[in-house]
Structure 1
Amino acid sequence: MSEAAGLRQRRPLRPHVVTDNGQNPEAKDGSSFSSRVFRVTFLMLAVSFTVPLLGAMMLLDSPIDPQPLSFKEPPLLLGVLQPNTKLRQAERLFENQLIGPESIANIGDVMFTGTADGRIIKFENGEVDTIAQFGLGPCKTRDDEPTCGRPLGIRVGPNRTLFVADAYKGLFEVNPWKREVKLLLSSDTPIEGRKMSFVNDLTITRDGRKIYFTDSSSKWQRRDYLFLFMEGTDDGRCLVRRR
């Protein structure tokens, strides 16, 4: 047999494409049924969770009584309001040594501040020292603030003493050199029939006879400041204490 006679023509192989055209009708019906069951089950679960949640929201009392707020058009960020990056060049002092330092005052080269754990701190020659504490510890969480105290505003008086506004305790005068603390006005003292719940900041006249201070709310304490923001009530006050 010759070589030419031994050659036979072969058909080229074609890829075999599998489609679902030949799928069993019973299998298709089963898949469609399972899909419907899944959708119905999902909707039932969603309704079973949503309806009780909406009912609870309607029946339970809200801790806040929101008030309508309207804001004026904000000023253009020009001049002194123009954005800048100057704070990026600042040096961080006593990092990881203080918890929530608030207002800062200085007498010469000595600085003072109040911290989240209720202390009045002195910075001198690179050292951190506690000179006063208005409340009692331990002071680990925000819920401890009413007993620990939370010093906020702090100013230097004409006699080189510190005047401090504590959010929970009231107004104090602190002698940083003798470490003596004097309560000037307790937060438990009602003013015009309303208690002070959130003593915030203060300033003192040059002769030291008047202390102007703010009480941010007669209802909410500092630890509840989110409720204060959401409610939007205007019960904050600017008060004066004469000496």
Structure 2
Amino acid sequence: MQREHGLRKRGKPSKSSLPDVRSGLSNTYENLGACRLLLKVVVGFVILIGILLCFAYAISPITAVSISGIHDIRQFEWAQVENKDLQRGIRILSELIGPESIAIDEHDNLYTTVSDGRVVKIVNPGKHDQSVIDLTESFDYAKESKRSKIRPLGIRLHGSKLYFADAYQGVIMIDLKSGSHEVIVRYDDVKPSLVFPDDLTITSDGKTIYFTDMSLKWAYEEIALFALEGECSGRLFKVDVLTKRTELVRDNLCHSNGIELDRAENHAIVAEHSRRRLAVISLESGKLVRNILLPGGPDNIRRRQNGGYWVSIPYLPEPGHFTTWHPVIRNILATVLGELGILSWVNLNQGIAVKLNDDLEIVRIHYDTEGRLSKAITEISELSDGRLAVGSFIINGIALVDPISSK
């Protein structure tokens, strides 16, 4: 019996200790339950996002393609300069919205195409007696067309004949003496039909017009989706002005918009906007001769008075710009953002112009990075006094930039 005094007495836990143990276990189970619930919510959210992204990809309005070889400003030492060359001057006629292209006659009168469908002449631009004449007021060049929309773009002057490309209708001529007009190429005169005629140029003898069709798929109002997709179905055509016979010169161009001929008229210089380059194409063979790489997508190209060319760049993409992202991501972005959303991601409040010499070598780049005068530039044309008439596809009015030093 005495051993019992040296033994620990074992028995049931006291009733007073049970609530503490049960409380701890209960808290542990509650925490585990909360964690499981949180995990389920997170997993469910991830699955939901995945489903939505898959759905966005499946219904995407575009079929983005891989884009390689895109250069940005870091690859061009000549572009890494600071200047405000395009800020000095005045803006005229703010009531003209989107004067995309500009032609100039021997009296320095301007001819331009605006977003409301008009082609206008500006007499004595920038002077006190400046006036505007509507050249398309007396006729409707889309009257007999199955397409009702009009949007004149690239414009050229040859003698008393004014030629322009319309994004929906084709190539049209206005006789400035008689006031009459003539459709040179209707959109459905070629097969497949023209979808997005953009710019044109004409040989010095006035017999042949070369013009671009930007895409076989995307129309003018879908330009942001077109740029995001990156497909290359643009075409270069030539048309005999007298017979109206139209021939394909080259296809599979990437966002082909602006065009100019070299001085000898042996080559066409075509802007491939989505690849940020100029394509020099032989007019005899239709073969690509060379590419000229640029830090941003070029638009219209025009000759300089003293030799060389002006190339307009509507905006300067930052390195890693979203238009170069993986095709899957771009497909999803097209669904999520839509046309207007994509445009809102692009900084159009800046002006960029590149000067080339006759050998298509870079001479200089000119800026208005703050967009004080020149922005969203689609064309640079020279007046006889050295001033630059600056066109834009969305900005109000025309910027008249003071002559730029040749240094």
Quick check: which has more Rg, 1 or 2? 1
CA–CA distance in 2 between the matches of 1:68 and 1:48? Answer: 27
Structure 2 CA distance for partners of 1:39 and 1:101, relative to 1, 3 Å? same
Structure 2 CA distance for partners of 1:83 and 1:199, relative to 1, 3 Å? farther
Match status 1:129 vs 2:127:
no
The amino acid of 1:91's aligned partner reads I
Given that 1:66 and 1:232 are in contact with CA atoms closer than 8 Å, whether structure 2 keeps it comes out as yes
Matches within 5 A, 1:148-163: 148-158=149-159, 160-163=160-163
Output one character per residue of 1:150-198: Cα deviation in whole Å (capped at 9) or x when no partner: 111100013x2101111110001112343211100001122xx322111
The amino acid of 2:187's aligned partner reads S
The amino acid of 2:134's aligned partner reads T
Structure 2 CA distance for partners of 1:56 and 1:78, relative to 1, 3 Å? closer
5+ residue gaps, structure 1, are 1-24, 137-145
Structure 2 CA distance for partners of 1:52 and 1:67, relative to 1, 3 Å? closer
CA–CA distance in 2 between the matches of 1:67 and 1:48? Answer: 27
* Off by >6 Å, runs of 4+ in structure 1: 35-38
Select which of 63, 69, 72 maps to 1:71: 69
Output one character per residue of 1:50-75: Cα deviation in whole Å (capped at 9) or x when no partner: 254135235x3432222211125555
The amino acid of 1:88's aligned partner reads Q
Structure 2 CA distance for partners of 1:211 and 1:47, relative to 1, 3 Å? same
User: 1:100 matched to which residue of 2?
Assistant: 98
User: 2:215 matched to which residue of 1?
Assistant: 217
Using the aligned pairs only, state the percent identity: 29
CA–CA distance in 2 between the matches of 1:82 and 1:211? Answer: 37
CA–CA distance in 2 between the matches of 1:212 and 1:36? Answer: 68
CA–CA distance in 1 between the matches of 2:131 and 2:92? Answer: 11
Matches within 5 A, 1:168-207: 168-190=168-190, 193-207=191-205
Question: What value does the CA root-mean-square deviation take over the aligned residues?
Answer: 3.2
Output one character per residue of 1:119-161: Cα deviation in whole Å (capped at 9) or x when no partner: 101112412221115347xxxxxxxxx6231111100013x21
Deviation at 1:222, TM superposition (A): 1.4
Given that 1:118 and 1:134 are in contact with CA atoms closer than 8 Å, whether structure 2 keeps it comes out as no
User: 1:46 matched to which residue of 2?
Assistant: 45
Larger relative contact order, structure 1 or 2 (CA cutoff 8 Å, min sep 6)? 2
Matches within 5 A, 1:18-33: none
Deviation at 1:205, TM superposition (A): 0.7
Output one character per residue of 1:74-116: Cα deviation in whole Å (capped at 9) or x when no partner: 552428x844211111210112x11111100122232110011
Total equivalences in the alignment:
203
Q: TM-score, normalised by structure 1?
A: 0.70
User: 1:147 matched to which residue of 2?
Assistant: 148
CA–CA distance in 1 between the matches of 2:111 and 2:185? Answer: 21
Structure 2 CA distance for partners of 1:52 and 1:72, relative to 1, 3 Å? closer
The amino acid of 2:166's aligned partner reads D
Given that 1:102 and 1:114 are in contact with CA atoms closer than 8 Å, whether structure 2 keeps it comes out as yes
Given that 2:164 and 2:172 are in contact with CA atoms closer than 8 Å, whether structure 1 keeps it comes out as yes
CA–CA distance in 2 between the matches of 1:73 and 1:49? Answer: 37
Deviation at 1:227, TM superposition (A): 2.1
The amino acid of 2:65's aligned partner reads Q
Aligned with 1:217: secondary structure? coil
Structure 2 CA distance for partners of 1:98 and 1:38, relative to 1, 3 Å? farther
Stretch deviating more after TM superposition (206-215 or 64-73): 64-73
Structure 2 CA distance for partners of 1:77 and 1:147, relative to 1, 3 Å? farther
User: 2:227 matched to which residue of 1?
Assistant: 229
5+ residue gaps, structure 2, are 1-22, 124-128, 242-407
Given that 1:118 and 1:135 are in contact with CA atoms closer than 8 Å, whether structure 2 keeps it comes out as no
Higher strand proportion, which one? 2
